[in-house]
Amino acid sequence: MLLVIGPGIITSAADNDAGGITTYSVAGARYGYNMLWAIVLITFVLMIVQEMSARMGAVTQKGLGELIREEFGVSWTLFALIILLIANLATTIAEFAGIAASLEIFGITRYIAVPAAAVAVWFLVVRGNYKTVERVFLALALLYGTYIVSGVLAGPNWRDVGMAIIKPTIPMGRELKDYTFLLIAVIGTTITPWMQFFLQASVVDKGIDIKHYNFQKIDVIVGSILTDVVSFFIIVAAAVTIFHTNAKISEAADLAKALEPLAGSLATAIFAVGLLAASLLAAAVLPLSTAYTFTEAFGFEIGISRKLKEAPAFYGIYTSAILVGAGVALLPGFNPLHAMVWSQAVNGILLPVILFFMLKLINNRDIMGEYVNSKWYNAVVWVTFASLISFSLIVFAATLFPSLVE
């Protein structure tokens, strides 16, 4: 079975992390079925963007960071990677928030849970084995598959669900800002900057070339659909169990309600375990991926066996990312639930930058030859690019000048 499962499915499986589960749950809990239209559209965009990453990897056999460096030089690479760094740090904070939230459900204070997790995650780099990581990602994807069952068992009114997709009602006035912000978070958690780097690297690493690309394309499409089917049902389950019952959500544990139709009284425990595992894994993978992207693009420490002393930049970035993630999660007054949604919004706000670089690279015939983007592909990504920027502008404007939306 593992032969059929390629980088596309793995990347998509990794996509449903602490930030993802929380953001979708909050979307369902606050707006019911209202955001489902976005999930349907995002699925198409996700497929296209992931396909672009995979195609770039297969044609050039190089990572995204390397391509940016070779095409745009040092300054733009630094810019792109700082954007990636900010997005990844935000997500790392979200992962530690997930660790804090899940262990608090079991009554363990975050002042113990977070530092312990940080140490554990740091050592994972030494013991890391990618095969294991892949399997855990897939196992988690199956675990989150329970949301599909829970969503169906919750007994949603399918007519309402259909109507919400075909005829979305976008709240105006004061609600617009919060709605748009959550919309950015939903986009940002589904299509993340780091996934593009991760997927392209996996394709290169697996030695998939353009001759074998058709399988890869299917893999990416299947992965995108699977991950968004889960997202869809998380929203449905949360809508029925939380939104329709007028339940309050003040902390992450409240989101476990969405699993009650399936798991009953075990819902909270299952929710916590899933959240913990996803958070721990992503909290290790993200800083690692960040550190590697930096060291490779800038050529630090290439060609030496990477022992601690010989690779200060690599370990510096890796360690700092964990320290920042864990450190922020320990700040007094830190709210894990808010942090998880916020971090995904940061990803959504920064995504256009990475999309821009991807579009520039993939339409360059010197790099891609005949495999440049088709017109309608470009159109979809440019529309996404423009929408994300306008959404961000709406939120900024509404925050700075509240009178605009009164």
Partner 1 sequence: MFLSEVLGKPVSDALGEKIGTLADLVVTPGAQFPAVTAAVVSLGRGAVQTIQWSQVTITEEGGLRLGFAKDSIKIYQIKDDDLLLKRDVLDKQIVDVHDYRVVRVNDVRLEESESGLFLVGVDTGMRGLLRRLRLEGIADKIARRIKWRPHTHIIAWSDVETFERSEGRIRLRVPIERIAKLHPADIAKIIDELDPAQRQEVFESLDVETAAETLPETDPSVQVSIVESLDEERAADILEEMEPDEAADVLGDLPADRREDILSEMEPEEREDVEELLEYSDETAGGLMTTEFISISPDMTASQVIQHLRKVGPDAETVYYIYVLDSAERLVGVISLRDLIVAPPRKKVESFMVKQVIHVHLGATIQEIAQAMEDYNLLAIPVVDDENRMQGIVTFDDALQKVLPEDWRRRIPKVWSR
Question: Which residues in 301-340 are b (16+ Cβ under 10 Å) and which e?
Answer: beeeeeeeeebeebbebbbbbbebbbebbeeeebbbbebb
Kindly state the DSSP code that residue 371 receives in the 8-state scheme. G
User: Hey, which residues between 257 and 316 contact partner 1 (CB under 8 A)?
Assistant: 285, 288-289, 292-293, 296, 298-299, 302-303, 305-306
Separation CA 379–CA 45 (nearest Å): 11
Residue 129 interacts with partner 1 (CB under 8 A): yes or no: yes
Nearer CB in complex with partner 1: 22/293:
293
Nearer CB in complex with partner 1: 137/271:
137
DSSP letters spanning 207-247: T--GGGHHHHHHHHHHHHHHHHHHHHHHHHHHIIIIITTT-
In angstroms, give the least distance from the CB of 168 to partner 1. Answer: 38
Nearer CB in complex with partner 1: 137/179:
137
Helices (H) then strands (E): counts for the chain = 17, 0
Show the site string, 310-349: x = touches partner 1 by CB under 8 A, - = not: ----------------------------------------
Nearer CB in complex with partner 1: 28/63:
63
Residue 205 interacts with partner 1 (CB under 8 A): yes or no: yes
Separation CA 175–CA 43 (nearest Å): 25
Contact 354, 83 (CB under 8 A): yes
Residue 202 interacts with partner 1 (CB under 8 A): yes or no: yes
Helix crossing, 375-400 with 175-190: angle to 10°?
140
Q: Interacting stretch for partner 1, rule CB under 8 A, among 95-103, 195-203, 234-242, 320-328?
A: 195-203
Please pick, from the candidates 322, 368, 394, 395, the single residue that binds partner 1 as defined by CB under 8 A.
368
Q: What is the Rg, in whole angstroms, of the alpha carbon atoms belonging to the chain? A: 20
Phi, psi of 207 (to 5 degrees): 70, 25
In angstroms, give the least distance from the CB of 403 to partner 1. Answer: 42
Residue 371 interacts with partner 1 (CB under 8 A): yes or no: yes
In angstroms, give the least distance from the CB of 102 to partner 1. Answer: 24
Contact 87, 187 (CB under 8 A): no
Give how many residues touch partner 1 by CB under 8 A: 51
Please pick, from the candidates 43, 49, 69, 95, the single residue that binds partner 1 as defined by CB under 8 A.
69
Separation CA 154–CA 241 (nearest Å): 7
Please pick, from the candidates 86, 108, 133, 269, the single residue that binds partner 1 as defined by CB under 8 A.
133
Centroid of chain to Cα 50: 12
Contact 326, 117 (CB under 8 A): yes
16 three-state secondary structure: coil
Show the site string, 142-181: x = touches partner 1 by CB under 8 A, - = not: ----------------------------------------
Nearer CB in complex with partner 1: 112/120:
120
In angstroms, give the least distance from the CB of 294 to partner 1. Answer: 11
Please pick, from the candidates 1, 75, 332, 403, the single residue that binds partner 1 as defined by CB under 8 A.
75
Nearer CB in complex with partner 1: 37/371:
371
Separation CA 404–CA 406 (nearest Å): 6
Residue 135 interacts with partner 1 (CB under 8 A): yes or no: no
Contact 127, 308 (CB under 8 A): no
Residue 15 interacts with partner 1 (CB under 8 A): yes or no: no
Contact 33, 164 (CB under 8 A): yes
Please pick, from the candidates 108, 210, 222, 229, the single residue that binds partner 1 as defined by CB under 8 A.
210
Cβ burial of 374 (10 Å; 0-12, 13-18, 19+) is exposed
Nearer CB in complex with partner 1: 159/365:
365
Interface contacts to partner 1, rule CB under 8 A: 7, 59-66, 69-70, 73-75, 78, 125-126, 128-130, 133, 197-198, 200-202, 204-207, 209-210, 285, 288-289, 292-293, 296, 298-299, 302-303, 305-306, 365-371
